[in-house]
Amino acid sequence: MNAKSGTPQKILMFFSGRAHPELAEEVAKHLNVSITPQSAYDFANGETFVRFEESVRGCDAFVIESHCEPINQWVMEQLIMVDALKRASAKRITAIISARLIADLFKTAGADRIMTVDLHTAQIQGFFDGPVDHLFAQTLLSRYVRDKYGTENVTVVSPDAGRTKLAEKWADDLGGVPIAFIHKTRDPLRPNDVVANRVVGEVSGRLCIVIDDMVDTGGTIAKAVEQLIGEGAADVVVAASHGVLSGPAPERLSNCGAREVVLTNTLPIPDEKRFPQLTVLSIAPLLARAIQEVFEDGSVTSLFDGNA
C-alpha cells in the first residue's frame, strides 16, 4: 500500500514468449525490470503449456511476442499467456502484437490494451474495442538514413503506388525531399511474382531510399532496386520496419544491387538470414518508452511518430 494515499502500489511485470527472447531482454533492460520467470514448453502432441513462477495478482502485465515463423505457434502461445494472466487476476494486460483477427482474439483472451509497431494498414487499430498504441519505427529508420547519408540529392521511392503516403511521410522526415514510385502489376495467378513497369519521378543520378513496412520474400524490393539502377540511380538504400525474409529473400536482397538494407528487430533475424549489406536497428528503446508511459498512465502520443 502507498503510505500516504492508502492506495495499492502499482507493479509492472514484463512477460515474453519464446519467439524473440533477444528483443524481450533488450526491452527489459531499457525498462530496468526482469522478465517474469515462467515455464513454457510444448507437449509431444504440439499443445503449448505456460505457467508463471511468480504471483501476478494485481500487476500491470505487458506481454511481448514477435509473430514470426511458425506464426501460428507464437500467436497461440501469447494468447495462452494472456489467458493465464487473466485467470491469475492480473489487474491490466497489454499485449504487444500485429493485426485485426489477432486483436479480436486477444480481446477475447483478456487483453485490455494492444501495443503494436507499424501495422500494414493503420485502420486495423479501429477493430480493437479498447486502447491501441500504434507505434512507428519510421522515425528510427529515417533518422538513421539522414544521419548516415544526409538529405542532399535524395529521393524517397515507394515500391508501388500503394505506399506513396508512407513515402510522403518519409520525405517530410528527411526535410522535404522529392518522392517517386514504381508503377507495377502483379500476376494474380502467381503469388509474390511482381512485374515492375516504370519509375514515376526523378531518380537519375540520385540516392534512392526504397521504403516499405515489411520485406517478406524480397521480390518486390529486389525488382524495385534493379529498376532504379536501370533508370540511372546513383545508389539505392532499402529501409523497412519488419524483416520477415522468407525463403529466397536474403539472396535476392544481397544480389539486387542495394548499397544497404536497413531493417528493425521487430522480428528475429537469425544469422542464416543475414547478409553483408544488412543493418538491423533496435526497436527496444521505443517499446520500453511506450510501456513505461502506459504503466505510469502518461502520454503515448509523442511516440506515435517514433519520437522516443
What CATH number is attached to the domain comprising 52?
3.40.50.2020
Do 201 and 112 belong together in one domain?
A: no
Please tell me whether residues 100 and 152 are part of one structural domain.
no
Q: Do the Cβ atoms of 58 and 8 come closer than 8 Å?
A: yes
- β-bridge mates for residue 236, sequence order: 208
Angle (CA) 130-35-291 rounded to 5° is: 35
Q: What is the CA radius of gyration of the chain?
A: 21
Residue 103 placed within a domain: yes
Instruction: Determine, yes or no, domain membership for 5.
Output: no
pLDDT score at 197: 73
User: Does some domain include residue 181?
Assistant: yes
Nearest to 224 by CA among 238, 234, 213: 238
Please check whether residues 178 and 65 belong to one and the same domain.
Answer: no
Number of domains observed in the structure of the chain = 2
Q: pLDDT per position in the chain (308 positions), as tens? A: 444 455 568 899 999 999 999 999 999 999 999 999 999 999 988 889 999 999 999 999 999 999 888 988 999 999 999 999 999 999 999 998 755 567 778 888 999 998 888 776 555 555 566 788 888 888 899 999 999 999 999 999 999 888 888 999 999 999 999 999 998 666 666 665 655 578 999 999 999 999 999 999 999 899 999 999 999 999 999 999 999 999 999 999 999 999 999 999 999 999 999 999 999 999 999 999 999 999 998 877 656 554 44
Whether 53 maps to a domain, the answer reads yes
Q: Are residues 147 and 85 in the same domain?
A: no
270 and 154 in a common domain:
yes
Neighbours of 187 (CB within 10 A): 10
H or E segment to which residue 26 belongs: helix 21-31
CB 180 within 8 A of CB 205: no
If asked whether residues 93 and 194 sit together in one domain, one would say no
The answer to whether residue 142 is domain-embedded is: yes
Vertex 235 angle, CA 119 and 228, to 5°: 70
Does residue 184 sit in helix, strand or coil? strand
* Nearest CA among 3, 267, 11, 295 for reference residue 131: 295
Dihedral sign for Cα atoms in the order 164, 170, 176, 180: negative
Phi, psi of 211 (to 5 degrees): -115, 150
Same structural domain, 90 and 128: yes
Q: Which three cell numbers stand for residue 131?
A: 486502447
DSSP category for residue 62 = E
Whether residue 3 lies inside any domain: the answer is no
Residue 149 falls within a domain, yes or no? yes
CA distance 30 to 24: 10
- Catalytic site includes residue 165: no
Range of the domain at 70: 12-136+285-303
24 and 116 fall within a common domain: yes
CB 141 within 8 A of CB 239: yes
Query: How far is Cα of residue 306 from the mean position of the Cα atoms in its chain?
Result: 12
**Do 120 and 160 reside in the same domain of the chain?**
no
Q: Are residues 170 and 114 in the same domain?
A: no
Q: Can you say how many angstroms the Cα of residue 7 is from the centroid of all Cα atoms in its chain?
A: 36
Residues 163 and 250 in one domain: yes
Claim to verify: residue 79 and residue 163 sit in the same structural domain: no
DSSP codes of every residue in 189-222: TSTT-EEEEEEES--TTSEEEEEEEEESSSHHHH
| Catalytic annotation, pick one of 4, 10, 148, 184 | 184
Query: What angle, rounded to 10 degrees, do the helices at 138-149 and 164-173 form?
Result: 50
Q: Any idea what DSSP says for residue 36? A: P
Would residue 221 count as lying in a domain?
Answer: yes
Give residue 306's pLDDT.
44
pLDDT of residue 74: 93
